[in-house]
Amino acid sequence: MEIVLAAKAIGAGIAVLALFGVGLALGNIFSTLISSVARNPAARDVVFPIGILGFALTEAVALFALLIAFLILFA
């Protein structure tokens, strides 16, 4: 029984490793968004919705990773 619990903990830890990539991606998305608006403020109306879409899709990956981790731990 202890081996199963250890395997669940290891599996959940591996599933959460995706959050590292999500954090890097979100930082990259918003730093690029800020620098592009700083270079050309007139392009804000075009660039901002694309940045928000990128944020939403990247955050969805984080939620899926957490869902998988919780399913591994508690199912």
Residue 47 has pLDDT above 90, yes or no: yes
Rounded to two decimals, the pTM is: 0.81
Q: What secondary structure, in 3-state letters, does 32-67 show? A: HHHHHHHHCHHHHHHHHHHHHHHHHHHHHHHHHHHH
Q: Give the per-residue pLDDT at 28.
A: 96
- Interval 11-46: pLDDT, tens: 999 999 989 999 999 999 999 999 999 999 999 999
75 pLDDT tier (thresholds 50, 70, 90) = confident
48 in Cβ contact with 37 (< 8 Å): yes
